[in-house]
Chains A and B, each alone.
Chain A
Amino acid sequence: MDFINAIILLLNYIFIPALTYGSQLALGAIFVTLIYGILRFANFATGDMMSFGTMATILFTWYFQSLGVSLGVLPTALLAIPFGIIFMIFYMLLIDKFVFNYYRNQKSPPVQFAMVSIGVMFVTQAVVRIIIGPGDRRFFDGEKFIIKAREFKEMTGLNEGLALKSTQVITIFVTIVLVSLLFWFLNRTKTGKSMKAYSDNEDLALLSGIDPKKIVLVTWVIAGILATIGGALYGLDKSFKPFTYFNNMLPIFAAAIVGGIGNPFGAFLGGYVIAFSEILLTYAYKKFFMYILPESMEPSSLVQLLSTDYKFAVSFSILVIVLIYRPSGIFKGKVL
């Protein structure tokens, strides 16, 4: 019995939260990696673009709520996400046309692109804050829990409860669907393959008649979908605050690089690597050991490797180690 309790404890406090957080990071990381692989720059506006998409989703959610439209037990935001995506893509294309396009034609070095993306970051931050303000916004509605901890305890008679939030299930489910669709698109369709070719060797791809404008357009469309959904899922699960989104850019970068930047599948796994290591290293295992060890060996301390304050620092340290020993990431191999 104690053993099952220990497993449930880990599931409840480590596995499910890490899986959710990892999914949110993974979507952002694929976004970063696509931009890096195809448009060839590190996009420092990642977090703020995600917050823009989320903001658009929130505005539509509010609009639907005012109309009285809802999805019953599911959050209304799911209905608003497609509209948010359209806004996000429109914004990204606008930025691309007026900002990035020029430097692409000039064949500027990646560093210059990165600097320009900082300018975009400032502008996007301002736009988001002017429209929706810097405060904390919750836009979740519908049923909050699928399984409540207390109900679970009553149902199974265990000491430990397992709480399953609907946002966690939605996040994981949507991520799986979206990522499968994306990989299908990249690996099986003609456009996806031409994107791959463009990323591998630009000149060769151009010679074989691939239209660079179309590639760029498709990349931004996919990026817009990923950014909005990733941001909205994070906002549903936690809450929406522009500053948090800016900060999330850092673990997202970490995930993309750990997975091997330019490699979408690596970025997908990198998200989970970062999320799991953050939570595994900062969790206090005292209770876990209390269940599995005999009473005489019970630990007196919290058995916590690092205090939770260092959550972010863990992912950054992993990144630094990866950068030093394996700059091409854990899952190198083919690029895109």
Chain B
Amino acid sequence: MRKNLNVIAAYSIMMVLILMVGIFQSWNIALSIFNLCLISAVMTMGANIQWGYAGLINFGIMGYTALGGLAAVLISVDPVQEAWRAGGFDILMSLWLIVVMVLVIRFILKRFEKSKIRTYSIAAIIISGILLIRFSAEPGIEAIEAVDPAKTGFLGGFGLPIIFSWIVGALFAGGLAFIVGKVALGLRADYLAIATLLISEIVIAIIKHEDWLTRGVKNVIGLKRPAPYEVDLQTTDWFINLVEKFNSGKLSVIENLADRQAALNQLVIEGSSVFVKLCYSGLFLVVVIILLILTQKALYSPWGRMMRAIRDNEEAANAMGKNVVKQHLLIFILGSAIVGIAGAMLVTQDGLFTPGSYRPMRYTFLIWVMVIVGGSGNNFGAILGGFVVWFLWIEAAPISLFLINFFTAGIPETNALKAHLIESVPYFRFLLMGLGLLFIMRYRPKGILPEKIEIK
């Protein structure tokens, strides 16, 4: 108990902060912050597995998040029959071509010795294969994108409940991580950072522009929900009764019956959106707790010890007979898969998929700030980092507005400098994040909750 005191204290402070937002701003804002904190926590756990456990630097978090989001679309959207009829065959043919291409390359890699001719022939196969696929798929893609472009214009998905996409998102992200890992993991740390960053940009470029699959920048909106809809709740009797019961004190003060009814309606509208957010919180909390248990178990298992050994001294671990390359690949896949889950969760909560919104600032660098600030190598630290940084990211604007007003209290409103500062309040969050990261790295390089190794 004693040694966990700092963890408990840190989390209590965080919860109090969120509760304060609920009391002073509104419960809606508090819960939406809380939900995104939970999603961020899942992402940081993924990044923490890679960076904290194994010392692998992955600046491609954005790409895996987007793939998770794509999974949510492909799982939950109903298939567009017309588009399948128009171009499904061409697409399937291209898929088949890709499979054939991969098999041929595998065959060549297995059968022939490494030589220049082999490398060139593989390059030739890949280039000609891409050209072939491009030209054979083109009519199909055009046909699909022409199907009611304002509403669909893509193949749609499988029409399954969206919650399955959390697993599929993990699989997608893990699959991508397998390819990236095979390609890039041999690189030195800073090269790996740049390579993963650029690969994630390529992934985003593909998601943005392959309209037949993802609808691209036209966005997919109105995804199915695992939680009830606000509009339905507002007409459900048990929910109205529940709200009435909760607010009986407040309502009984109002004498006039019509006023009371109006107040109740207002409360029901507010309550419904709070209730929906609570449903999401519950779902996300389950995911976070399951992942936390699994990652903690992994960290203190022989496997976790091996990972730390590899991180701290690769050569020694290699000499002890540990397969460093294989373990690096494994942990790269695991971490990315967790990020994929978070990506699917994010799209599930938003109910829409907007490829244009995936930017490295928000989905890669901010997550890294979370991991570093929270404490890499420590799961509780990483989750706390997700909470703290996301909370500050959202609340930075109101805080800095307050500070500006406080320090310039004597200056009249019409002062140009003051007006300019107030106008640029949204950008103070970058300043806050940057300064926070720099201070933590300087004065507490292991993060708020540093890694602790317990030998049991």
Which residues of chain A have a CB within 8 Å of any CB of chain B? 41-42, 44, 99, 102, 109-112, 114-116, 118-127, 129-130, 133-134, 246, 250, 253-254, 257, 307, 309-310, 312-313, 316-317, 319-320, 323-324, 327
Query: How many angstroms from the CA of A122 to the CA of B392 in the assembled complex?
Result: 14
In the complex, what residues of A have CB within 8 A of residue B191's CB?
257, 323, 327
Q: When A130-B427, A130-B431, A133-B424 are in contact, do A42 and B197 touch as well, CB less than 8 Å?
A: no
Query: How many angstroms from the CA of A119 to the CA of B432 in the assembled complex?
Result: 10
Q: Assess whether A126 is in contact with B428, with CB atoms less than 8 Å apart.
A: yes
Q: Assess whether B201 is in contact with A118, with CB atoms less than 8 Å apart.
A: no
Q: Assess whether A313 is in contact with B202, with CB atoms less than 8 Å apart.
A: yes
Q: Which of B57, B184, B369, B427 contacts A324 (CB 8 A)?
A: B184
Q: Assess whether B206 is in contact with A313, with CB atoms less than 8 Å apart.
A: yes
Residue of B195, B208, B429 contacting most chain A CB atoms (<10 Å): B195
Query: How many angstroms from the CA of A319 to the CA of B200 in the assembled complex?
Result: 13
Q: Assess whether A119 is in contact with B197, with CB atoms less than 8 Å apart.
A: no
Interchain nearest-CB distance for B430 vs A (Å): 4
Q: Assess whether B427 is in contact with A111, with CB atoms less than 8 Å apart.
A: no
Q: Is B350 an interface residue (CB 8 A)?
A: no
Q: When A115-B441, A119-B437 are in contact, do A126 and B431 touch as well, CB less than 8 Å?
A: yes
Q: Assess whether A246 is in contact with B427, with CB atoms less than 8 Å apart.
A: no
Contacts A116-B441, A120-B434 given; 5 further ones with Cβ under 8 A?
Answer: A119-B437, A123-B434, A126-B434, A129-B430, A130-B421
Q: Assess whether A125 is in contact with B368, with CB atoms less than 8 Å apart.
A: no
Q: Assess whether B184 is in contact with A323, with CB atoms less than 8 Å apart.
A: yes
Q: Assess whether A320 is in contact with B195, with CB atoms less than 8 Å apart.
A: yes
Q: Which of B193, B198, B433 contacts A42 (CB 8 A)?
A: B193
Q: When A320-B198, A320-B199 are in contact, do A122 and B433 touch as well, CB less than 8 Å?
A: yes
Q: Is B190 an interface residue (CB 8 A)?
A: yes
Query: How many angstroms from the CA of A310 to the CA of B435 in the assembled complex?
Result: 35
Q: Assess whether A130 is in contact with B428, with CB atoms less than 8 Å apart.
A: yes
Residue of B57, B188, B202, B206 contacting most chain A CB atoms (<10 Å): B202
Number of A-B pairs, beta carbon distance below 8 Å: 121
In the complex, what residues of A have CB within 8 A of residue B197's CB?
250
Query: How many angstroms from the CA of A118 to the CA of B195 in the assembled complex?
Result: 16
Q: Which of B189, B433, B442 contacts A110 (CB 8 A)?
A: B189
Q: Is B54 an interface residue (CB 8 A)?
A: no
In the complex, what residues of A have CB within 8 A of residue B184's CB?
320, 323-324
What is the interface of chain B mostly: helix, strand, loop, or mixed? helix
Q: Assess whether A254 is in contact with B437, with CB atoms less than 8 Å apart.
A: no
Q: Assess whether B205 is in contact with A313, with CB atoms less than 8 Å apart.
A: yes
Residue of B184, B190, B194, B369 contacting most chain A CB atoms (<10 Å): B194
Q: When A119-B434, A254-B198, A320-B198 are in contact, do A310 and B427 touch as well, CB less than 8 Å?
A: no
Closest B residue, CB atoms, query A98: B438
Q: Is B47 an interface residue (CB 8 A)?
A: no
Q: Is B187 an interface residue (CB 8 A)?
A: yes
Query: How many angstroms from the CA of A130 to the CA of B199 in the assembled complex?
Result: 31
Query: How many angstroms from the CA of A179 to the CA of B438 in the assembled complex?
Result: 33
Interchain nearest-CB distance for A38 vs B (Å): 15
In the complex, what residues of A have CB within 8 A of residue B369's CB?
118-119, 122
Query: How many angstroms from the CA of A312 to the CA of B199 in the assembled complex?
Result: 11
In the complex, what residues of B have CB within 8 A of residue A316's CB?
198-199, 201-202
In the complex, what residues of B have CB within 8 A of residue A41's CB?
190
Q: Assess whether B194 is in contact with A317, with CB atoms less than 8 Å apart.
A: no
Q: Is B183 an interface residue (CB 8 A)?
A: yes
In the complex, what residues of A have CB within 8 A of residue B199's CB?
316, 320
Q: Assess whether A114 is in contact with B202, with CB atoms less than 8 Å apart.
A: no
Query: How many angstroms from the CA of A127 to the CA of B427 in the assembled complex?
Result: 8
Residue of B189, B190, B361, B424 contacting most chain A CB atoms (<10 Å): B190
In the complex, what residues of A have CB within 8 A of residue B202's CB?
313, 316-317, 320
In the complex, what residues of A have CB within 8 A of residue B430's CB?
122-123, 125-126, 129
Docked complex: B412-456 residues within 8 A CB-CB of A: 421, 423-424, 427-435, 437-438, 441-442, 445
Closest B residue, CB atoms, query A311: B205
In the complex, what residues of A have CB within 8 A of residue B372's CB?
115
Q: Assess whether B431 is in contact with A42, with CB atoms less than 8 Å apart.
A: no
Residue of A102, A250, A323 contacting most chain B CB atoms (<10 Å): A323
Question: Lowest 5 CB-CB distances: which A-B pairs, in order?
Answer: A122-B434, A123-B434, A126-B431, A126-B430, A119-B437
